[in-house]
Amino acid sequence: MDTIRIFERLIAFPTVSRDSNLDLIGYAADLLEASGVACQIVHSADGHKANLFATIGPAGRPGVMLSGHTDVVPIDGQNWTLPPFEMTERDGKLYGRGAADMKGFVASALAACIRASKMALRTPLHLALSYDEEVGCLGVRDLIEMLSAAPQRPRLCIVGEPTNMQVATGHKGKLAARAVCRGREGHSALAPLALNAIHLGCDFVRSLRDEQERLARDGARDGDYDIPYTTVHVGKIDAGVALNIVPNLCQVDFEIRNIAADDAAGILDRLRDAAARIAEDAVSIAAEAAIEIEITNTYPGLDTPAASEAVAFVKSLTGANDTMKVAFGTEGGLFSRDLGTPAVVCGPGSMAQGHKPDEFVSVEQLRRCDGMLDRLLERLTDGWLS
- Residues that are catalytic: 71, 133
- Determine the Cα–Cα distance for residues 218 and 118; give it in Å rounded to an integer: 56
Peptide bond into 372 cis (omega under 30): no
- List phi, psi (to 5°) of 230: -70, 140
- List phi, psi (to 5°) of 89: -105, 125
Question: At how many degrees (to 10) do helices 104-116 and 22-33 cross?
Answer: 20
Question: At how many degrees (to 10) do helices 104-116 and 363-382 cross?
Answer: 30
Q: Where do runs of H (alpha helix) occur along the chain?
A: 2-11, 22-33, 104-116, 140-148, 197-218, 264-282, 309-318, 332-334, 363-382
**In this structure, are residues 302 and 212 in contact, taking their beta carbons and an 8 Å threshold?**
no
Q: Which DSSP letter does residue 184 get?
A: B
- List phi, psi (to 5°) of 141: -65, -35
> 103 to each of 1, 16, 38, 137, how far by Cα in Å?
15, 12, 21, 16
Residues near 310 by beta carbon (within 8 Å), at least 6 away in sequence: 156, 304, 342, 343, 344
**In this structure, are residues 228 and 216 in contact, taking their beta carbons and an 8 Å threshold?**
no
